[in-house]
């Protein structure tokens, strides 16, 4: 290989490496907040969470005992919560206010009261 071509390849490799490092840097600098919520008969824990308007979060659910559902209609967000699995829901809250979420899979006698609140602040 002639030296000129070798230099070009090296420059290309360096540029690719720099791009990858930059992408990793950006990802590392902007981790999305993860909020862990456990669902058990008949409550979500925590039952109230506070989010910031426009800031994406990932809600990470574990179900302790039986299959349940997470449903936050104002965010058009829902997930099946299956024991032994982690369910993730990503939200970007757009509006300030207090919004309800609830269990939408019948899980026993206390199911009807199984709900929580999402507070979104500016
Ligand atoms: Cu339920």
Dihedral of CA atoms 20, 33, 106, 117 in degrees, nearest 10, equals -150
Question: Is the pLDDT confidence value at 26 over 60?
Answer: no
Q: Characterize the bridge pairing of strands 48-52 and 115-121.
A: parallel
Over residues 66-84, mean pLDDT: 97
**Cα 101 to ligand 1 centre (Å):** 11
**Cα 22 to ligand 1 centre (Å):** 44
**Cα 53 to ligand 1 centre (Å):** 28
**Cα 81 to ligand 1 centre (Å):** 10
**Cα 68 to ligand 1 centre (Å):** 5
Higher-confidence position of 81 and 28: 81
**Cα 56 to ligand 1 centre (Å):** 26
Cβ neighbours of residue 28 closer than 8 Å, sequence gap 6 or more: none
**Cα 88 to ligand 1 centre (Å):** 18
Residue 102, strand partner residues: 71, 115
H-helix or E-strand spanning residue 99: strand 97-102
Over residues 16-34, mean pLDDT: 66
Question: Is the pLDDT confidence value at 17 over 80?
Answer: no
**Res 59: pLDDT:** 98
**Res 31: pLDDT:** 82
The tokens describing 42, both together, are: 């008949």
Rounded Cα gap, residues 57 and 52, in angstroms: 9
Rounded Cα gap, residues 115 and 34, in angstroms: 20
**Res 22: pLDDT:** 59
**Cα 119 to ligand 1 centre (Å):** 21
pTM of the model: 0.75
């Amino acid at each position: 290989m002639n030296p000129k071509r070798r230099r070009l390849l090296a420059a290309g490799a360096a540029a690719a490496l720099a791009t990858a490092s930059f992408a990793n840097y950006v990802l590392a600098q902007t981790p999305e907040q993860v909020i862990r919520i456990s669902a058990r008969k008949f409550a979500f824990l925590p039952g109230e969470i506070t989010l910031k308007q426009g800031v994406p979060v990932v809600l990470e659910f574990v179900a302790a005992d039986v299959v349940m559902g997470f449903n936050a209609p104002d965010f058009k967000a829902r997930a099946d919560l299956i024991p032994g699995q982690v369910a993730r829901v990503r939200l970007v809250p757009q509006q300030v206010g207090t919004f309800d979420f609830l269990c939408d899979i019948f899980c026993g006698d206390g199911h009807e009261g199984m709900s929580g609140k999402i507070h979104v602040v500016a």
